[in-house]
Structures are given as structure tokens and as C-alpha cells.
Amino acid sequence: MDEVQEQALEWARDIGILGSEKFLQECVDYGYARCASLAYPNASLADLSLATRWTVFLFALDVHTDETPYDSLSPEYLAFLRNMGAIVSRKADSPIEPDSLKSPFGEALLELWVTSRAQFKNPGWERRFSRYFHEFQSAILWEIALRKTGEVPDYLTFSSYKLRGCAAPIGAGLVELFSPTALPDAILDSFLMENVRLLACDLISMATDLGSVQREHDFEAVPNTFTSLQHTLGATSDATVLHYTSIWHARMNTLLSIRDRIDRFSPSMCAHGRHLPAVEDYINELILWLGGSMEFIHESHRYSPGVEISLES
């Protein structure tokens, strides 16, 4: 595992997305490269190596976007942000602004995408993953615009955009590749499975947001869903904690209920039980990913909650 992590950091440094020795040290201190090994415990060594590079790339992107004042973002980087969805596309003729690939982030994303397509050869996964990136792009651009205006949106608006603008859907998008049994696209594209993924992603998003309250206050008027909920409620921090934990545990219980009663939630999906074991395997892989990600959140110094709160279930 140490070798996989070191190789990922070396790749990120060579391609230029670490930016500085300070961020390289942050990668080491916060264990960014270790996150993938916790989140994908059943991945092969080759798959884990690729997932680790994806993870380091996403952390580097998040830090650079959050911690660089808008006026200091380079034209190449802004072009990259506008073109992420086009880079991660199955269409060979998708128009890409040339400047976007002059950014080391554009170069890194293109390399990860080309490598992933060649390694996995899964058209259904490519389509879903490409959609996650298009949503990721639109949410990041919305967040940057919000930072410029200083507008304070209500909790529901903020949380819906924040979920798409965090890296969780992209991380969850890798889970299906590591599931022991492949599922038909019709099941993975179903409304129920989409909501299972969103539940898992929302749980991670809420947990990371809570742990980033202090870190992000310097960059945004409303840094995350916790502070957005507090603003919407007009409540004290302690009262917001009660609401926030209630939301988190309700969603966790919903996810576990779907897993335990999948045959009742969607009898047609599991007709005659043929796909039931594979569906259960996939949901269990999502829960493993969730558990590994939560373990990383609890042990990494990147996350230091502004309030004492337990999100364990």
C-alpha cells in the first residue's frame, strides 16, 4: 500500500497538480493517498493504484479551488473548470477549449480518463461516470460564483448543489468497478440504485462538511451544509447539531433498510432472485466505501470538527 501511495504522489508532483512542497507535505500529513485503500478494500492492486491517483487528483482540485482567491485563478485553470465535462466524455468530438489542457489539472484529468477507459472497458460505467463529472463541473462553477457574490442560499438549495460539487459521487462511481459481481446497466441506472448512491454520497458529504467548518471559513461565506442549515434555521450551534445528526442518522438508516429489504423495495429488479445477490454485493461495496471514507475522515488531520459530534452508526 505504501508503494501505491508514493507512486500516486510522485505522479501528481510530476504532472504539476500539487502546486507546492507545502501541499505535498499536506498530502503526506493528511494521508490523502491512503483514503483510496480504506475506501476500496476489495480492489486489485492495479485498480487501487488508479483509484489512488483519482483520489489525490480530487483532493488537489478541491484545495486549489478553495484556497486560491478567484482573481488569482489562472485563465488555464478556469478553462479547465469549464471543460471538465468535455474532457470526461465518451464523445470523441466533444469540443474542448485548448487552454483547459494547458492546465496541469486538465492534463491530469485527461490522463486519468484515458487510462480508466482503457483499463476497465465498460461503456455503461463510462456513461455514468461522465454524467457525474458534468454535474461536478456545474456545481463547482456555481460555488465559485456564489463565493464572488457572497449570497447565502437556503439549506435545500445549498445542499443539493454541494452534493454534486463534492467528490463523493465520483468516488462512488468507482465502486461498481470493484464489486465482486457485475450488474446489468438497467439495474445500475435504475431510480432505486441512483438513490442508493446518492444516500451514500450525501452521508460522506455531510460528514466531510462538518469536519471542514474551520478550514473553509476563510474561503466562503457559507462554507458547507452545516453552516447553511444553521443559517436557514436561525439556530444556535447546539440546536443545529441535533438537526444535523438527525438528518445523518435518518439517511444512514434508510440506506441500511434498502440493503436489508432490497427484494421488497424493488421486486421487479430482483425478479426470480437472479440479480439479488449481485445487487446486495454492490450495496455492500457502497457501504464498505462509506465506512472506509468515514474512517479516513475520523483519522485525517484535514478534518477537525468545529463542534463535538459523532456520526458513527
Does 126 score more than 70 pLDDT?
Answer: yes
- Answer whether residue 270 shows pLDDT above 60: no
Q: What percent of the chain has a predicted confidence (pLDDT) above 70? A: 85
User: Tens of pLDDT along 203-215?
Assistant: 888 887 776 665 5
pLDDT for 313 equals 45
pLDDT band for position 267 (cuts 50, 70, 90)? low
pLDDT at position 274 over 70: yes
pLDDT value at residue 57: 92
d(CA 85, CA 300): 30
Q: What is the CA radius of gyration of the chain?
A: 19
Domains of the chain (ranges plus CATH)?
152-304 (1.10.600.10)
Return the higher-pLDDT residue of 18 and 149: 18
Max CA pair span of the chain: 58
DSSP assignment of 80-99, as one string? Answer: HHHHHHHHS-S-TT----GG
Amino acid at 218: D
* Mean pLDDT confidence for 107-124: 90
**pLDDT value at 46 more than 80:** yes
Q: Across residues 255-280, what is the average pLDDT?
A: 75
| pLDDT at residue 53 greater than cutoff 90 | yes
Using a pLDDT cut of 90, give the percent of the chain over it.
Answer: 10
pLDDT in tens, 9-44: 889 989 999 876 777 777 777 777 788 888 888 888
What pLDDT does 92 receive?
59
* Whole-structure pTM value: 0.86
What pLDDT is recorded for position 221?
A: 52
Find the helix packing angle between 75-87 and 123-149, rounded to 10°: 150
230-261 confidence digits (pLDDT tens): 778 888 878 888 888 888 889 899 999 888 88
Q: Which of 64-73, 137-146, 243-252, 298-307 has the lowest mean pLDDT?
A: 298-307
Q: What is the DSSP string of 140-189?
A: HHHHHHHHHHT----HHHHHHHHHHHSSHHHHHHTHHHHSSS---HHHHT
Q: Is pLDDT of 154 > 90? A: no
